[in-house]
Amino acid sequence: MEDLPLILEGIDNKIKKLIFSNRKLKEENQKITDQKQNLEQKVEQLNSRNAELEDSINKLKIAKVMTGEDTFRARQQINELLREIDKCYSLLNR
């Protein structure tokens, strides 16, 4: 029975250590949760930025295709005008 106070003191110390460890783990858990939320926000921002950049790329591709088509049409019109000028020139030379 004389050992009972020592046993109780040992149990009390272990409980205090467990409470301290529990607090530390809760703090660490909160920090990790905060970091996770920050990283999720960054991922969301990066996904949004990525979508914007993909949209810009698609618009540039469309603009490039349209410019290519416009160039082709312009060349066709120039060729038609040159043929017409050649016809007029040949009529003048008759």
* pLDDT per position as a tens digit, 34-65: 999 999 999 999 999 999 999 999 888 877 76
Is residue 22, in this structure, part of any structural domain at all? yes
Please say whether the dihedral angle defined by the alpha carbons of residues 48, 49, 53 and 56, taken in this order, is positive or negative: positive
Domain count, the chain: 1
| CA separation for the pair 88, 39 (Å, rounded) | 72
Is residue 74, in this structure, part of any structural domain at all? no
Is residue 46, in this structure, part of any structural domain at all? yes
Write out the residue range of the structural domain in which residue 10 sits. 2-67
Give the length of the chain: 94
Output the pTM of the full model: 0.56
What's the whole-number mean pLDDT along residues 11-17? 97
Is residue 61, in this structure, part of any structural domain at all? yes
